[in-house]
Chains A and B, each alone.
Chain A
Amino acid sequence: MILLAFLAQTLRIAIPYLFAAAGGTLSERAGLIALALEGYMLGGAFCAVVASHYTESAWIGILAAIGGGAALSMLYAVCTIRFRADQVVVGIAINLLAIGLTRFFLRLLFDSSSNSPRVAGFQVEGSGTGFGALVQNPLVWMGVLCIVGVAWLLYRTPFGLRIRAVGEHPIAAASVGVPVARVRYIAVALSGMLAGLGGAYLSLDQHQFTDGMTAGRGFIALAAIIFGRWDPKRAALACLLFAAAETLQIRLQGTQALPSQFVEMIPYVLTIVALAGVVGRAVAPTALGRTTTE
C-alpha cells in the first residue's frame, strides 16, 4: 500500500518531466538546446488556466497550453534559426520572458500578484493510493504516450531520421535536399507544445496558476535528457528516477532522517555524474548549440 502510494506519487511528479523531456529531446536531437523548456512550461501552465477559466473547459485549456508553448518556442526558433542568435542567450531570455509575461497577465486578468482563481481542471475521484485519480486524468495518459510517440517519431519515421541528421551534420542533410531550417522549426515547435502540455498538467492538477509554479522543472527535464543520453526512453527513465527522488524527499520531510536539500540535489548530481561519463559516454548531437548551419 505504501509502495503503491509511493509509485503513484512518483508518476504524478514525473508527468510534467515526461512531457518536457520528450519535447526537449526532439529539439536537442535537431541541434537546438532545449534551455527554454522552463519557459514553455510556465507559458503552457498559464494559458491552460486562463483558457479553462473563461471557457470552463479543461480540454480547451489543454489546447491553449499547446498554443502557448508553441508560441514561445517559435520565438526561440526564429531568434536562433532565422537570426542565428546564441541559443543559450535566447533560451535564458525566453525563460525570463515567460516569467514576466505570466506575472503581467496574472495582474491584468486576475488582479493578483500570486495566483489565479480556481479552475475546475479534470474531475477525478480520489482513492487510497492516488492511482485512481491518476488514471482518470487524460494528461497522465498523454504524458506516458508522448514518450512512446517521440521515440517512434525519432527512430521509425523519415522525419525522425531527418531530425537526427540535422542535429548531427546539418550540411550533409542540406546537401541531400533536406530542408534543415524547416525540420528544426518543426522540432522546436513540437518541443514547445509538449512542454506546454507539461505546464498544463501542473496548473490543472493544482486547479490554479501560481506565480513561478514550474519551479525549475524545465531544467530537471533537460537534466533528464542529458542523463538519458538524448534518447527518449532513457530520458523517461531518468524522469522517473528524478521524480522518485523527489517523492522520497517529500516522504522524508519531518523525519529529520536526511536534510531535504541533499535529496533535492539528486537530479543535478546524477546529471553531473552522467556527463562525467560514468553511465557510458554521453555524446551530445554534434551540431547542438551551433548557430550557423553553413
Chain B
Amino acid sequence: MPENTPRPSILLEGIDKSFGPVAANRGADLSVTTGEIHALVGENGAGKSTLMRILSGMYAADAGTMEVNGRDVSGWTTAAAIAAGVGMVHQHFMLVPTLTVAENVVLGCELTRGVVLDRVAAEDAVRALSVRTGLNVPPDRLVAELSVGEAQRVEILKTLYRGAKILILDEPTAVLSPPEVQELWQVLRSLRDDGGTIVLITHKLDEVIEVSDTITVMRQGRTVARMATHGATPQAIACAMVGRDVALAGDAEYVRGGSSGQASAVPSVLFEVRDLTVAGARRAAAVDAVSFGIAPGEILGIAGVEGNGQTELVEALAGLRRGTGSIVLAGRELIGASVRERGDAGVSHIPEDRHERGLVLDYSVAENLILGQQHRFVRGATLDTRRVLEHARSLIEAYDIRPTDPELPARALSGGNQQKIVVARELARDFTVLLAAQPTRGVDVGAIEFIHARLREAKAQGKAVLLVSADLAEVLALSDRIAVMYGGRFVAVLPREKASPDIIGPLMTGAERAA
C-alpha cells in the first residue's frame, strides 16, 4: 500500500453498549487514519472511555462492528487486542504498586529463561525502550515509589513493550504538570512520526488544538462530529460537545472584586489561617507553616502541581487531617474541632476525589445529597425519608443532575453528574467558607461551566472561597488572588492581574521563588 494513502487503522461502526439501564454508547462511530493523532473529545458520560475500552477488548459491545487494519475484530479480548498491537493507557493507572517497573511492563507476556522469570532481560528491555522513546524510568524501582508522571511513562512503555502500534490514552494529562504535558506531547509526536497511531481521549480543548491532527466529538453515546484540527476553533468543538454555545473558562468575563462595594461594611478577613502545619507521610511537613486570609466575596485560588501539599491543606482545613496552627472562621477558632463542628460553624467542603471522599457510590443520589447533614433530616430516631427525597428532588432540578431519579445509586451516574451531587450538597447547606478542591476534575465542559457559575454565585453572596485546582486556566479564570503552592509552602501570592501562566508556570515547578 502506498505510503501516503490514508487508510483507516481503526474503524468502529454503530457501537452500542449499555450498563444495566444506562446506555453508554448508542451507535457510536469512529474512524482513525494510520499515523495520526486523533482526539476523541466529549463531555463526561459521552461514552468516550467506554468506546475505547471496547476497542481495547475490556468490554464487549452489545452491537456494532470493529475493524482494526482492515480486519474484523468485533468482540475480541484484551489479549487479542494486545496481540494485534492495540494498547490503552487508562485514566486510572493499571499498574501494580507492589511490583517493580520492569515487572509491571512484562506482566502478561513475561520473558522467561526456562520456566523462570528473566528479570535481567525484562529490565534490559525496559531500558532499551526508554532509550528509544525518551520515556525514562528506572526499571528496578517499585511502582509505588514513582511520581504520577513516571507512572504514566510506565503505562506507555507497557503498551509499547507489547508492540502497540495503536496507542489509546484516556485523559493522560489530568495528573501532569505543564512541563510534563509538553514532554508527553513530544513522545506522542515522535511515536506518530514512527508510524504509530494515537487516539487521545480528552476534554481539554487547548490540548486538542495543540497536539491532534483529527478530532471526533461524541455526545450522549453518539458520534456527532468529525473534523480536521487545522481550522477548527475551540468554540466550534465545545459547541459540538455540548450541543449549544458555551462560555469557555479562558473567555469568561472577569469581574474584579465583586464585593468591593461592601468592603467597608464587612470585616476584611472572614477566614484566616495562621502557621498551619500538617505532618506528611513522606516529608516531615506536607503543609509547612502556611498562612493566609480570605475576605468575604473573595476567591483565593491555589495553583500548583499535585502532591505539593494542596490535599493535606484542604483536608486539614476540613478537619479530616490533624494540623497545628490556627484556623479562624468569623472570629471562631476551629483548630481541633471535628468535621461536624466545622460544618456547623460554616465550613463547606467539595473534596478533590469524589469517589474516595465525596460520595458513597452505593448510596442513592438522595442519600448522598444529605451526607454529613443526615442529622438534620431525622424524625424521631429514623431518617425522614419524605424530606430527604424532597430535598433531593429540589437539588436534582436546581443542579440539573441526570438521570433525575433520586433513588438511583450514585454509581450509576456519569462522573460529571456525580460531581454535581457533591457540589449541590455542599452549596445547598448553610456555609460561610467553601473549600473547593478540584471542583471540576473529570467533568465535562457543560458541567464545568455550571460549577464555575455556582462558585461565582457563592462569591457574589459574600462567601469566602478557597479554590484548589490542578487546572491553571480554572484558577486564573475564577480567582481574585492566586497562591502558588510548592513543597508545602506558598511560594507566591499574586493578585489576579499580576498572574499569568508565564509567571505561575515556573513557580509551580519550584524553578523560581518569588520574593
Contact = CB atoms under 8 A, between A and B. Distances in A.
Interface in B85-121: 88, 90, 93-99, 103-104, 106-110, 112, 115-117
B95 A169 contact: yes
Interface string B348-376: 00000000000000000000000000000
B291 interface: no
B508 to A, nearest CB: 30
Given A156-B117, A157-B116, A161-B110, A176 B98 contact: no
A168 B82 contact: no
A177 B77 contact: yes
Interface in A162-219: 162, 164-165, 168-169, 171-178
B78 A172 contact: no
A178 B97 contact: no
A169 B96 CA distance: 6
B337 interface: no
B58 interface: yes
B266 interface: no
B96 A175 contact: no
Contacts of B108: 162, 173, 176-178
A177 B108 CA distance: 6
A128 B77 CA distance: 62
A165 B110 CA distance: 13
A184 to B, nearest CB: 15
A162 B106 CA distance: 10
B79 interface: yes
A158 interface: yes
Given A165-B99, A171-B94, A158 B112 contact: yes
A228 interface: no
Nearest to B111: A158
Interface residues on B, range: 20 to 34
A69 interface: no
B48 interface: no
Contact of B97 (A156, A169, A176): A169
A50 B508 CA distance: 72
Residue of B97, B108, B115, B116 most packed against chain A (CB within 10 A): B108
B97 A177 contact: no
Interface string B51-65: 000001010000000
B281 to A, nearest CB: 12
B158 interface: yes
A203 B97 CA distance: 42
A160 interface: yes
B94 A177 contact: no
A258 B158 CA distance: 59
Given A157-B115, A158-B117, A175 B79 contact: no
Residue of B99, B107, B110, B158 most packed against chain A (CB within 10 A): B107
A286 B99 CA distance: 12
Contacts of B90: 175
Interface in B441-465: none
B96 A165 contact: yes
Interface string A134-176: 0000000000000000000000111011101100110111111
Given A156-B116, A157-B116, A161-B117, A177 B79 contact: yes
A171 to B, nearest CB: 7
B107 A176 contact: yes
Nearest to B119: A156
Nearest to B108: A176
B114 to A, nearest CB: 10
Contacts of B58: 174-175
Contact of B94 (A157, A164, A169): A169
B107 A173 contact: yes
Contacts of A168: 96-99
Residue of B78, B96, B98, B109 most packed against chain A (CB within 10 A): B96
B78 A176 contact: yes
Nearest to A283: B98
A164 B110 contact: no
Given A157-B117, A164-B96, A169-B97, A176 B110 contact: no
A176 B158 contact: yes
B107 A162 contact: yes
Contacts of A161: 99, 103, 106-107, 110, 117
A160 B119 CA distance: 13
Contacts of A157: 115-117
B246 to A, nearest CB: 34
Nearest to A179: B79
A174 B78 contact: yes
Contacts of A175: 56, 58, 78, 88, 90, 94
B308 to A, nearest CB: 25
A176 B160 CA distance: 12
Contacts of A165: 96, 99, 107
Residue of A158, A171, A172 most packed against chain B (CB within 10 A): A172
A158 B78 contact: no
Contacts of B112: 158
A82 to B, nearest CB: 19
A173 B115 CA distance: 20
Contacts of A164: 96, 98-99
A161 B99 CA distance: 8
A172 B109 CA distance: 14
Interface of B: 56, 58, 77-79, 82, 88, 90, 93-99, 103-104, 106-110, 112, 115-117, 158, 162
Interface of A: 156-158, 160-162, 164-165, 168-169, 171-178, 285-286
17 contacts: A156-B116, A158-B112, A161-B99, A161-B110, A164-B98, A168-B98, A169-B94, A169-B96, A169-B97, A172-B104, A172-B107, A174-B58, A176-B158, A176-B162, A177-B77, A177-B82, A286-B97
Counting from the closest, the 4 A-B pairs by CB-CB distance are A176-B108, A177-B79, A158-B110, A172-B94
Given A156-B116, A158-B112, A173-B107, 11 more contacts: A156-B117, A157-B116, A161-B107, A162-B107, A162-B108, A168-B98, A169-B94, A171-B94, A175-B58, A176-B94, A177-B79
